[in-house]
């Protein structure tokens, strides 16, 4: 069989560099940043680590080499992401949202747009470059973005409008965004660019009326409010943004009328990354509790690892971690095999691994008992981080399960496609 789980020499090097960075540079900053009550200050606490990660290529390594990126595969990205997420998945989100924002340019942008925006992203001499993926909107009636591709017209779904002013060659943006990551930048004056999903046709549904537009830092008419204070991923900045008659050159627009596909493909790309992120967190919880169980006696004569119930619980966690890593790797391999098209299997990996490993982290806490609640131990933080996975990155209930369903219900779908590694195309006829 062609299956081989051995890492290549290059992948082992990536793993070693990522592990050294995570343990030596990132880890010393995490506890203080996580405990900082001001979410913007928490974000800024890890700026130094981000600059080092940028220099190592972790912030832009997924961009093709011809635009200055590393051109690494999705499978390579798995190796790096697990090591960083084992220390802090919120920090990894800061890095990887650059991909959510910029990969749509790779897929849908013109060559001129790629040359202008991607090369700028990969060549920041200060290493501070941030891109914001500015899609989500606040809850309301109507509100939210889970049904972004429904046939309902404005203001349902994506309600940030971009009115074309052809006379001046501009789009005029009005509305709000809520939850976008990185968008406010290090100083709340904006990321270097925000790739925004906007409604370019108010009278059309989400399957026809959405587009993407690049909003550079310093553009008038954009106000970045204080970041959202969250349960987990506390060092990852999530913003509330107001657009008021914000004028953007029309050459900054792309994926005109295909914003729905840009959203779906971006969250397909990030699915295996979210899956391996949950592996990283569960791995850290498991390793900590395994070591604890070999020294803690619980008042008995021997360490609790010698009790069958504890051993079985830890064995169950270990099995789930290995199964989920294999699933995440397969989804990434599928993306590499089919030009970043894998809407169902990548969503499956994201949903399954996030749900499975949240339960695994909680089971690890039960092994420790009440001691797991003591914040001198990291289990409380691991549980908060694990709780994020089913909810973020196109939430499981909101978008990801629907992506799987839309592929499976297609008459042309082959239920053995994932087993045989054959393509499962996703286009507007499935929406």
Q: What is the CATH number of the domain that holds 311?
A: 1.20.140.10
Residues 6+ apart with CB under 8 A from 80: 14, 15, 18, 58, 61, 72
Tell me, yes or no, whether 120 lies in a domain.
Answer: no
Same domain? For 253 and 275 the reply is no
Predicted pLDDT of residue 3: 82
Domain span holding position 75: 9-106
Same domain? For 226 and 277 the reply is no
Predicted pLDDT of residue 367: 97
CATH of the domain at 200: 2.40.110.10
Predicted pLDDT of residue 1: 63
Q: Count how many domains the chain has.
A: 3
Same domain? For 236 and 140 the reply is yes
Same domain? For 198 and 232 the reply is yes
The model's pTM: 0.96
Predicted pLDDT of residue 431: 64
Tell me, yes or no, whether 201 lies in a domain.
Answer: yes
Same domain? For 211 and 142 the reply is yes
Same domain? For 350 and 328 the reply is yes
Predicted pLDDT of residue 4: 87
Same domain? For 179 and 295 the reply is no
Same domain? For 78 and 148 the reply is no
Same domain? For 243 and 386 the reply is no
Tell me, yes or no, whether 1 lies in a domain.
Answer: no
Residues 6+ apart with CB under 8 A from 405: none
pLDDT in tens, 185-235: 999 999 999 999 999 999 999 999 999 999 999 999 999 999 999 999 999
Contact at 8 Å (CB) between 89 and 26? no
Tell me, yes or no, whether 117 lies in a domain.
Answer: no
Same domain? For 211 and 93 the reply is no
The residue to which tokens 């399960």 are assigned: 401
Tell me, yes or no, whether 425 lies in a domain.
Answer: yes
In angstroms, rounded to a whole number, what is the distance separating the alpha carbons of residues 219 and 150?
Answer: 30
Tell me, yes or no, whether 113 lies in a domain.
Answer: no
Tell me, yes or no, whether 47 lies in a domain.
Answer: yes
In angstroms, rounded to a whole number, what is the distance separating the alpha carbons of residues 134 and 199?
Answer: 13
> What's the start-to-end Cα distance of the chain, in Å?
36
Same domain? For 370 and 274 the reply is yes
Measured in residues, the chain has a length of 431
Tell me, yes or no, whether 124 lies in a domain.
Answer: no
**pLDDT < 70 regions, the chain:** 1, 431
Same domain? For 218 and 279 the reply is no
In angstroms, rounded to a whole number, what is the distance separating the alpha carbons of residues 164 and 362?
Answer: 50
């Amino acid at each position: 069989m062609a299956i081989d789980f051995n890492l290549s020499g290059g992948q082992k090097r990536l793993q070693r560099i990522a592990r050294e960075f995570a343990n030596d540079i990132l880890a010393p900053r995490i506890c203080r940043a996580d405990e900082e009550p001001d979410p913007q200050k928490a974000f800024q606490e890890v700026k130094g680590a981000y600059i080092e990660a940028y220099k190592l290529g972790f912030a832009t390594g997924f961009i093709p080499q011809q635009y200055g990126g590393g051109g690494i595969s999705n499978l390579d990205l798995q190796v790096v992401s697990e090591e960083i997420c084992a220390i802090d998945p919120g920090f990894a989100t800061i890095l990887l949202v650059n991909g959510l924002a910029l990969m749509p340019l790779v897929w849908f942008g013109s060559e001129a747009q790629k040359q202008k925006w991607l090369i700028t992203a990969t060549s920041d001499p200060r290493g501070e470059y941030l891109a914001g993926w500015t899609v989500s909107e606040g809850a309301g009636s109507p509100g939210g973005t889970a049904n972004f591709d429904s046939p309902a017209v404005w203001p349902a779904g994506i309600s940030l409008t971009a009115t074309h002013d052809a006379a001046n060659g501009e789009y005029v943006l009005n509305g709000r965004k809520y939850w976008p990551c990185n968008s406010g930048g290090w100083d709340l004056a904006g990321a270097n660019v925000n790739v925004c999903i906007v409604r370019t046709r108010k009278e059309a549904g989400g399957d026809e009326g959405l587009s993407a537009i690049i909003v550079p830092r310093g553009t008038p008419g954009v106000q970045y409010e204080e970041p959202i204070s969250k349960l987990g991923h506390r060092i990852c900045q999530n913003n509330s943004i107001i657009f008021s008659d914000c004028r953007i050159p029309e050459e900054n627009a792309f994926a005109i009328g295909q914003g729905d596909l840009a959203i779906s493909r971006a969250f397909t790309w990030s699915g295996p990354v979210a899956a391996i992120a949950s592996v990283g967190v569960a791995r850290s919880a498991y390793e900590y509790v395994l070591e604890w169980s070999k020294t803690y006696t619980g008042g008995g004569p021997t360490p609790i690892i010698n009790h069958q119930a504890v051993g079985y619980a830890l064995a169950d966690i270990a099995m789930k971690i290995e199964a989920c890593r294999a699933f995440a790797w397969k989804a990434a391999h599928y993306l590499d095999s089919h030009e970043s098209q894998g809407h169902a299997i990548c969503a499956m990996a994201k949903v399954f691994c996030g749900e499975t490993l949240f339960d695994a982290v909680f089971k690890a806490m039960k092994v420790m008992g009440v001691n797991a609640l003591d914040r001198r131990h990291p289990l409380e933080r691991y549980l908060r981080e694990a709780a994020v996975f089913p909810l973020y990155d196109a939430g499981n209930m909101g978008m990801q399960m629907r992506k799987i369903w839309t592929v499976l219900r297609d008459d042309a779908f082959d239920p053995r496609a994932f087993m045989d590694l054959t393509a499962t195309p996703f286009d507007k006829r499935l929406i």
